[in-house]
Structure 1
Amino acid sequence: MDAREELRALSSAVLAVTARRSVREVLQTIVSAARRLLNARYAALGVPDADTGSFAEFVVDGVSDAQWRLIGPLPRQHGLLAVLLREPEPLRLSDIRAHPRFEYWPKHHPELRDFLGMPIVHGSDILGALYLANKRDGAFSQDDEDLLRILAGHAAIALINARLYERSRELSVLEERDRIARELHDSVAQKLFSLRLSVDAATALVARDPGRATSQLATVRALAAEASDELRSIVVGLRPADVAAEGLDAALHKQVRLLDQVHAARVTLEVTDPVPRLSPACEDAAYRMAQEALHNALRHSSARTVAVRLFAVDSSLVVEVSDDGLGLPSSDLGLTSMRSRADAVGGRLVVSSNPGTGTTVRLEVPL
C-alpha cells in the first residue's frame, strides 16, 4: 500500500469517528483500516463486558461470515485477549504460540503466527484492544506499532463518544417520560374524567329518560374516540431508542444487563451470529416480545435463571427466551400480545411451558 492509500485508509477511520454512525460501524471501519494499513491477514477489536466476562463488542476483519459462524460464540476474556485488557502496553510477537499466556483457539479458528496487540486506552482506563495477526510481508515493525497506536486512539474517542451518547440518551428518555406524563395528565386524564361523568349520567337516566340516556351514550362514545386518538398521537413513533440506533442485539444486551442487575435471577444473553438489521416493525416486534417474555419469567415464574438467545436459522431470525421457573399461568394476557406482534410481521411464535419445568418462548421473524 503506497502513502496515498495509507492516508486514505487512515482518513476513513478518522472520519468514521465523527460521522453519525453506530458504534459498531465505527469500530468495524477502524478494524478494516488497521488490517489494510498494516497488511495483516486478520484483525479484530474487542470491548470487554465486565458483567459477563465476555465482550460487549467484538468485530473482526479478514474472516468470512461462514467461517465466523463455524468458529462459534464470542471468545471469553482469557489468554492473550485478557493480557491486553489488563496491561496498558502493546504486545508484538513473532509467534503468538510461544507466549506463556497463549492458550488455544477453537477448531475452525484460523491459525495465527505473528501478532500485534494494542490496548485502547483512555486516561488510566483500558476500554478494549486491537488485535492483528499474520502480516503478509514479513514481521510487524515499530512503524506498524506506532500506526496502530493512532488507530487505537481513534477507537478510544469512538467509545468515549458512545458513553457520552448513552448518558445523554438516558437523560432524553427521562425528559420524554416527563413530557408524556404531563400530556397524559393534561389531556387524556381530563377526557377520561369527563367520560366517567358521562357514563354515570347515562346510567342514572336509563330508567326515567331513555332519550337523554342515548344522548349521553353518544357523548361517551365521542369522548372515548377522542381519548383514543390522543393516546395514539402521544405513543406513535416512540420506537425503543436502542433498537432504532444500534440494532436488536445491542438493545437486548442492554436490557438483559439491566435486568440481571436488578433481579435475583441470573439473566443472560447469547448472540451466536452477526445479527442483520431488519425492518423497524420486525425489530420492534422481536424486542417487545423478548421484553414480555422476560417480564413473565422474572415476575411470575420464580425463575432462578433466564436465558435469551438471538440467532439466525435458515431464512429467519430467532429470539428465544427460556427460564427454569414454574411455567406460565393458565391464562396469560402477555401471550396474546406476543402472538399479535408475531402475526403482524409475518412471524411465528412457539411457546413451550410445563409446570415445574420452565418455559421457552421462541419467535421466528423472516429475514
Structure 2
Amino acid sequence: MLALVAVLTLLATHDVRQLWWIVLLAIAGLPALLAPQHRLLGPLSRVAEVVLLGLAASQVGAVATVSAQLGGLGASAVLPYLAVPVTVTALRRRFREGAALLAVTAATLLVSGAFTEVDGVRQLAQPGYLAVCAQWLILAALGLHAASTLHRVMRVRTDGEPQPYAEATRLLTQLRTVARQLPGATLDPGGISEHLLEELRTVTRTDRGAVLSASGGGRLVVLAQIGVERVDWETTLDADSAIADAWASQQPHTAARSQSRSHTGGDVSALIVPLVAGVRTVGLVVLETDAAHAYPPPVVSRVTALTSPAALRLEAALLFDEVRSLATNEERQRLAREIHDGVAQELVMVGYGIDNALATVHDDAEETAESLRLLRQEVTRVITELRLSLFELRSEVDRHGGLAAAIAEYARTVGASGGLRVHLSLDESTARLPAATEAELLRIAQEAVTNARKHAGAANLWVTCEVDPPYAQIEVSDDGHGIGDQRVDGHYGLAIMAERAERIRGRLEIRPRQPSGTTVAVVVGSSPRRDNVRDSAAPAEGE
C-alpha cells in the first residue's frame, strides 16, 4: 500500500519531496509491524499512522492543487492507506479500536484542512476536499462494519455447530459412558432384534418373523428371525414388495402375500413395520402368519407401540457396531503399515547383510558358512511369516465379493505359502450377513487356517463356507497330527476364536477329524436343515 500511495502522490504532485510523507508513514507503522501483539505499541503505532495520514492528505492535496490543478481531489493520493490500520484492527477483531481510528482520521483531516491554505484559500474550502475525505472514510467504515458482521455470524455458527473433531470427541465420550452403564448385550444389534421379535410374539400371532437392517448397495441384511424354518426374505429395496414400500414410506404395510421369495403359497398375512429413529429408517420388522387378515389395525397399533422405542435402541447398537468396526479396521491398517515400514524392512536388511557375509566367507570356514546359511533360512522364514501377517491384517470382506470370496482368497494364499493342498466348498446366497458378523467370521477362518499351516503339519486343508443369512457355517479341517492334549483356554489363538464367536452369538466347535487332523467349525444362526454343529459345543481342545 505504501508503494501504491507513493506512485499516486508523484502522479498528483510531480514533487519528489512529498514522498517524505510516505517515509513517515512507514516509520509510524514500524512498531505495529515488529510488535503486533504488544498491548500499547500496536495501538499507538496505528494512531500515529492515521494522524500522519490526515496531515499528509491535506498537504499533498494542497501541493496537487498548485501543481496539477486537482483541487481537493489531490488528497485521494494518500487516503487509500487508511485501509491498512483499519484492516489490521478488523483482522484482530478490535472493532472499537478501528472505529476510534476512523474518528481520529476524520478529526485530523478537518483540523489539518482548516489550517492548510492554498493561494490564500483554506483547504477545507477547496472543491472536492471534503467529498474525497468523506468518501474514503465511508469506505473504510463499511469495510470495518462488514468484518464485524462476518465475525458475529462466524461466532454464532461456531457456538451452534461445534467443529467436527470436537463434536466427535463429545459424542464418543458419551457413547463410552453409556456403553459402560448398559448391560453387556444391550448394544448388540442381533440381541436387540431377537428380544424385539420375542416381545412381538406375545402381542400377535407370528409363524415367521425377522428384523432387517440396511447394509448398503440397496439391500437389507437379516439381523434376527423366528419361525420353524429359515425364510428367504426379499431383501432388495428396489423390488416390487411391501418391504421396499414400507422402507420408502416409513409407514406400516400389510400384505396378503408372503415377503419370502421361497414361499410355496396358501393363505398368508404379512405385516411390515419400519423402525424409524427420528427421521432415519434403521430397520424393518417383518411378521407373517399362515392365515388371512391376521393383522387388523388394532394389532398394527400394538406392534408399533413396541417397535417405536426399539428403533432407537437398535440405531444405537448399529452405530456402536459401526464405530467399533471402523476403529478396528483403522487399527489393523495402522499395525500393517508399522510392521511393513518397520520390522519387515529391518529384517530384509538383516537378510542382505547375511548374504554379504556369506559372499566373503573363505572356503576353509565351512562351519561358519553353514551357520550363516541356517541363519539366512530363519530370517527368510520370519519374513514370510510377517508378509502373511500383513496379508491377514489387510484382508477385509469386500462389499461386492462377499465373505466366501474373502475366505477363499486367504486360504489359497496361506495354503500356497505353507505347501498345503486347499480344497474349497463355497455356498453363498446373494443375501448378506451384517458387516460386523462377516468381519468376525473372516477372522475366525483366518485363525483356523493359520493354525493348520503353522502347527498341524498337514498336507491338505478343507475349507467349507455356507452363507444363507441369517445362517452361516464356516468349517476348516486339516489332515495333520491332531490337537493333542492342549486345552482351548491354554492356547491364545483358540481363545480369541471363541471370543469372536461369542461376540456374534455364534457357536464354536474344535474337534478331532477322522482319521487324522482337526476340524474347527463356527455356526451363526440356526437352520434345522443344515445345523451340523451342536447347539452347545463342549469345551474344545487346541493345537
What TM-score does the superposition give when structure 1 sets the normalisation length?
A: 0.50
Structure with the bigger RCO (C-alpha within 8 Å, sep 6+) is 1
Give the letter for the 1:28 counterpart.
E
1:19 aligns with 2:185: yes
1:172 aligns with 2:328: yes
1:64 aligned to which of 217, 228, 235: 228
Kept in 2, the 8 Å contact 1:116–1:145? The answer is no
Structure 2 residue aligned with 1:162: 318
Distance 2:382 2:443 in 1: 29
Secondary structure of residue in 2 paired with 1:37: coil
Distance 1:149 1:158 in 2: 15
Structure 2 residue aligned with 1:284: 445
1:128 aligns with 2:128: no
CA separation of 1:18/1:146 partners in 2, compared to 1, >3 Å: closer, same or farther? farther
Gaps of 5+ in 2: 1-180, 408-426, 451-464, 477-515, 521-531, 534-543
Structure 2 residue aligned with 1:79: 241
Q: Deviations over 1:76-97 (max 9, x none)?
A: 4433222211112234x6xx43
Give the letter for the 1:310 counterpart.
V
Q: Deviations over 1:218-271 (max 9, x none)?
A: 543565566678x499779969798xxxxxxx9729979xxxxxxxxxxx9625
Distance 1:125 1:57 in 2: 18
CA separation of 1:19/1:188 partners in 2, compared to 1, >3 Å: closer, same or farther? same
Q: Deviations over 1:127-148 (max 9, x none)?
A: 2222334599986454752553
Distance 1:282 1:344 in 2: 21
Q: Deviations over 1:6-57 (max 9, x none)?
A: xxxxxxxxx9996167523431221222122334444332324552x54222
Give the letter for the 2:467 counterpart.
L
Give the letter for the 1:45 counterpart.
V
Structure 1 residue aligned with 2:467: 310
- Provide the aligned C-alpha RMSD in A: 5.5
Give the letter for the 2:329 counterpart.
V
Structure 2 residue aligned with 1:195: 351
Distance 1:239 1:219 in 2: 29
Paired residues in the alignment total 260
Q: Deviations over 1:188-222 (max 9, x none)?
A: 43233122112211122244644543453354356
Structure 1 residue aligned with 2:268: 112
Kept in 2, the 8 Å contact 1:43–1:132? The answer is yes
2:252 aligned to which of 49, 68, 90: 90
Kept in 2, the 8 Å contact 1:17–1:158? The answer is no
2:403 aligned to which of 252, 257, 275: 252
Structure 2 residue aligned with 1:355: none
Distance 2:277 2:223 in 1: 18
CA separation of 1:107/1:142 partners in 2, compared to 1, >3 Å: closer, same or farther? closer
CA-CA distance at 1:181 after TM superposition: 2.9
Give the letter for the 2:334 counterpart.
D
Q: Deviations over 1:256-293 (max 9, x none)?
A: 9xxxxxxxxxxx9625899999x97995169989xxxx
Distance 1:273 1:166 in 2: 16
Secondary structure of residue in 1 paired with 2:202: helix
Kept in 2, the 8 Å contact 1:118–1:149? The answer is no
Kept in 2, the 8 Å contact 1:120–1:126? The answer is yes
Structure 2 residue aligned with 1:330: none
Secondary structure of residue in 1 paired with 2:429: strand
1:32 aligned to which of 180, 194, 198: 198
Give the letter for the 1:252 counterpart.
L
Distance 1:105 1:22 in 2: 28
Kept in 1, the 8 Å contact 2:211–2:283? The answer is yes
CA separation of 1:251/1:24 partners in 2, compared to 1, >3 Å: closer, same or farther? farther
Q: Which moved more, 1:213-222 or 1:78-87?
A: 213-222
Give the letter for the 1:37 counterpart.
V
Give the letter for the 1:124 counterpart.
V
Distance 2:329 2:272 in 1: 38
Kept in 2, the 8 Å contact 1:121–1:153? The answer is no
What TM-score does the superposition give when structure 2 sets the normalisation length?
A: 0.36
Distance 1:286 1:210 in 2: 41
Kept in 2, the 8 Å contact 1:271–1:310? The answer is no
The structure carrying a bigger strand percent of its residues is 1
Kept in 1, the 8 Å contact 2:187–2:317? The answer is no
Q: Deviations over 1:139-180 (max 9, x none)?
A: 645475255343343144324432342233223322232234
Secondary structure of residue in 1 paired with 2:222: strand
Q: Deviations over 1:288-333 (max 9, x none)?
A: 89xxxxxxxxxxxxxxxxxx97359xxx8699xxxxxxxxxxxxxx
Instruction: Answer with 1 or 2: which has the greater Rg.
Output: 2
Give the letter for the 2:220 counterpart.
F
CA separation of 1:73/1:223 partners in 2, compared to 1, >3 Å: closer, same or farther? same
CA separation of 1:21/1:236 partners in 2, compared to 1, >3 Å: closer, same or farther? farther
CA separation of 1:35/1:254 partners in 2, compared to 1, >3 Å: closer, same or farther? farther
Secondary structure of residue in 2 paired with 1:29: helix
Distance 2:382 2:442 in 1: 26
CA separation of 1:198/1:271 partners in 2, compared to 1, >3 Å: closer, same or farther? same
- Percent identity for Structure 1 against Structure 2: 10
Distance 2:351 2:264 in 1: 66
